[in-house]
Amino acid sequence: MTSPAPARRVRNQVQLIAYADRLGGSLPALGRLLAGPLAGLFGGVHVLPFFDPYDGADAGFDPVDHLAVDPRLGDWADIRRLGRGLDVVADLIVNHVSDRSREFRDVVERGDRSPYAPMFLTYDRVFPGGATERDLVRITRPRPGLPFTPMVLGGRRRLVWTTFTGHQVDLDVSHPTARRHLDEVLRRLAGNGVAMVRLDAVGYAVKTAGTSCFLTPETMAFLDEIAGRARELGLEVLAEVHAHRRFALAAAHRVDRVYDFVSAPLLLHALFTGDAAPLREWLGRRPGNCVTVLDTHDGISLVDAGPGPERGDSGLLSARQVAALVQTIDRNSGGTSRVSTGPGGGPYQISCTAYDAVGRDDRRYLLARLVQLFLPGLPQVYYVGLLAGGNDPGALPAGDAREINRRRYAEAEVAEALRRPVVRGLTRLIRLRTTHPAFGGDFTVGEALAGELRMAWRAADARAELWVRFSAGAYRLTLSGHGAAEVLTDS
């Protein structure tokens, strides 16, 4: 393994989010696409889990071996090659490993006699004296039900902590054995050309009796520690916090980047209703170190923009507005979208491609992307969104609604999709955001009428100004710099 590279800042350019097995089919194929038909569009690529195996219970987010690249996709040399020309983002799956991992299988066989037993969480490790009903219902989980799976460990029936699925066994990140595991993964990523590490599910990593077990003070202390270690190794840190927006705001100053999952539902609400007030309100609050997304492998967020659990928090979007957004997306997608519910029973996220969410309307789709690319932060574009892909209802029998937005594209299919007018339009916008010098300067939000939004970037003599009237789906983009000026409209 090579030594970690010196720390460097991730470049201020658009990034691609992609599964290696679903965009080209392998890491070398993904590299060929980025160096060929996609050349010049992106400054970085978030390669979704490529660890062994990439096709487990949760599409790679349940690694059996977090230190190994799945040989069906390639090897660490392929990751290093990607990192020579692009900022590579990779996942540190903080909260859990697969129940098929070597370490956990040893615990299944030997129970507490296994040296790996302290690495994993069981019910009694968190609640040695037992738990009350109140203790259990307070636990936050992104899915219905309690986060425990009965398993036999060393001949004894136990309750193993499984926040996500019964095949994803939670780590006890307070124990040195688990911390050594996470540190080894960080060193492997840093030593193979990764520029930024995404802390997956970090909000669930620390379980403290009598709390929600989600982004508690103890979790924040752990976040500080793991982020500090990543930075020592030359890695920037992106925290994945998918919940009510107050949690992302609380985490933002502790890491280099935090996701803005809030803007996507606000932007779609503005497109569908002409009401830009919630989006403008959020622009006055959101942290400046965001990664901006319109769509991801998990779908389109809802909970981040909706009402909070505290009394009086009606949300940037009210419960009624969230319900209307869900109905509009369902209608636009021909009834193929799927809504996931959160721990409180309300809408959590919606599984739908961004293109289907706007009814495959090229004009509205490109406007949504233009606004996303204009927002402060580091823009990421999901591979299905890049190719203006539609929902894949045939994926639903697999049981995971998110699969509807995880199409597979062979290299030839990518080339065909890139010829479509809507995709050509999007690649022009991405190239503009990646290359125009104004986006390296200062951002301002201007005064606008109720259904409008005005934003501007300025750096020296370079300027980019965007005016949007959502009710009409109209915009005017003014660009200047290097002695040239250009005005683009929706026509």
Q: Give me the pLDDT at residue 4, please.
A: 41
Q: Which of 91, 75, 92, 93 is nearest to 31 (CA)?
A: 75
Q: Determine the Cα–Cα distance for residues 91 and 28; give it in Å rounded to an integer.
A: 19
Name every residue whose Cβ is closer than 8 Å to that of residue 3 and which is 6 or more positions away in sequence.
Answer: 191
Note the pLDDT of residue 5.
43
Q: How many other CB atoms are found less than 10 A from the CB of residue 232?
A: 12
Looking at the annotation, which residues are catalytic?
A: 200, 240
Which CATH number does 15-93+177-440 carry?
A: 3.20.20.80
Helix, strand or coil, per DSSP, at residue 381: strand
Cis peptide before 53 (omega within 30 of 0): yes
DSSP 17-57: EE-TTTBTSSHHHHHHHHHTTTTTT-SEEEE---EEPTTST
What is the crossing angle of helices 245-252 and 217-232, to 10°?
A: 50
Burial class (CB in 10 A: 0-12, 13-18, 19+), 134: exposed
Distance, CA of 84 to chain centre: 23
Indicate the domain borders of the chain. 15-93+177-440, 102-170, 446-489
Cβ-in-10-Å burial (0-12, 13-18, 19+) of 229 comes to middle
Structural contact between residues 483 and 374, judged by C-beta atoms closer than 8 angstroms: no
Find where tokens 């936050």 sit. 140
> In the prediction, which pLDDT does 372 show?
98
For residue 219, give Cα distances in angstroms to 212, 225, 277, 307, 477.
11, 10, 33, 23, 43
**Cβ–Cβ < 8 Å for 257, 291:** yes
Q: Work out the angle between the directed axes of helices 217-232 and 176-190 (0-180°, nearest 10).
A: 40
DSSP secondary-structure letter at 307? Answer: -
Cβ atoms 135, 175 nearer than 8 A: no
In DSSP terms, 457 is beta-bridged to 443, 464
Average pLDDT per 10 consecutive residues for the chain, totaling 491 residues: 52 97 97 97 98 93 96 98 97 97 98 97 96 95 90 98 96 97 98 97 95 94 97 96 84 93 97 96 93 95 85 84 96 94 79 97 97 97 98 77 93 96 97 95 92 95 95 93 70 52
Six-digit token string for 10: 């991730």
- What is the CATH class of 102-170? alpha beta
pLDDT score at 483: 58
Unique residue bearing structure tokens 């994803």: 168
| φ and ψ of 379, to 5 deg | -75, 135
